[in-house]
Amino acid sequence: MTRAATAGDRRALLVRQSDIGDFQDPAPRPALRSAPVLHWARWGLLPLSSVMRVETGDPVIALTYDDGPEPSETVQLLDVLAERGVRATFFVLSDRAEEHREIMARMLQDGHEIGLHGVDHANLTTVPGREAVRRLRTAKRRVEAVTGRPIRYYRPTYGAVNLTAFVGARLLGMDVVIWSAWAQDWFDAPPQEVADRAVGALHPGAILLMHDVTDQAQSTDSRPRPTFSRADVARRVLDGAAAAGFQVLPAGELLHRYPPVRALTVQRPHVRFR
């Protein structure tokens, strides 16, 4: 277990994923409490849990983006975040990070946090355990070579995670970070509709899942792939979050300030999300 994960785990609340509430609708959010079996077995189960949000009543959230970087979409998004003075966490793919080093450099220059999403967008629960760990190790080293900084957080592609992913990530010095709110921005819709889903899902301590790449998003049904501007959606989300009184932070800073809420997510989710 990593030093960072251990420090956070001392004050972590361990719950069932169902206790977090729906990713899209925060009202009503269930009261966070640890079931007796989770309370008594927490030290054995914490290494197999994912960070979902933090425990706080303060109006504060983490803004996170997956799948990039990508020249047109990510750069425009960074422009919006810079205009608003907002810092976020970008969970990047190492293939793209190496290809677009100048964008990675700007992320760091602008004060954003870099996390790992994988080498590419393969689902690591579908490959043998040793190969999954090898890919994680390779991806982490490649992104760290680009940034010159250690990677502390890992978000598995599709949110799909199993025992191998937990053990591999922890041995590599990373904690697994999922989310507690999303916009379903891998489906096409008017920008305001996407933003309304994101803002409607916000709650104190939320970790919001967004994406900074349009052309890689995949639908799970017949709905068309996104054509909207990620930057346009970001403006609307930030406007809505500000109107609701939320402060926006990178995930690592949120986890530093508040106790993490962790959930047992050792499964391949039935919903294939990015």
Among 67, 185, 211, 212, which one carries the catalytic annotation? 211
Cα separation, 97 vs 105, whole angstroms: 10
Say if 91 falls within a structural domain. yes
pLDDT at 268: 47
Say if 273 falls within a structural domain. no
Say if 22 falls within a structural domain. yes
Instruction: Mark whether 211 is an active-site residue.
Output: yes
CB 90 within 8 A of CB 113: yes
CB 119 within 8 A of CB 156: no
Instruction: Mark whether 188 is an active-site residue.
Output: no
Among 9, 19, 66, 185, which one carries the catalytic annotation? 66
Say if 274 falls within a structural domain. no
Say if 7 falls within a structural domain. yes
Instruction: Compute how many other C-beta atoms are within 10 angstroms of the C-beta atom of residue 245.
Output: 10
Q: Which two tokens stand for residue 159?
A: 């949110």
| pTM exceeding 0.85 | yes
pLDDT at 131: 85
CATH of the domain at 164: 3.20.20.370
Query: Quick one: DSSP state of residue 120?
Result: S
**pLDDT one digit per residue (tens) for the chain, 274 residues:** 343 444 456 678 888 888 888 888 887 787 787 777 677 777 778 878 899 999 999 999 999 999 999 998 999 999 999 999 999 999 999 999 999 999 999 999 999 999 999 988 878 778 888 888 899 999 999 999 999 999 999 999 888 888 888 888 999 999 999 999 999 999 899 999 999 999 999 999 999 999 998 655 454 556 678 899 999 999 999 999 999 999 999 999 999 999 999 988 655 443 343 4
DSSP 3-state percent helix, strand, coil across the chain (nearest 5) = 45, 20, 40
pLDDT at 76: 96
Q: Which helix (H) or strand (E) holds 89?
A: strand 89-93
Say if 146 falls within a structural domain. yes
Cα separation, 86 vs 236, whole angstroms: 13
Residue-range definition of the domain harbouring residue 179: 3-264
pLDDT at 81: 98
Number of structural domains found in the chain: 1
Alpha-carbon dihedral 263, 86, 151, 12, rounded to 10 degrees: -30
pLDDT at 11: 79
pLDDT at 234: 98
Say if 269 falls within a structural domain. no
Say if 271 falls within a structural domain. no
pLDDT at 203: 95
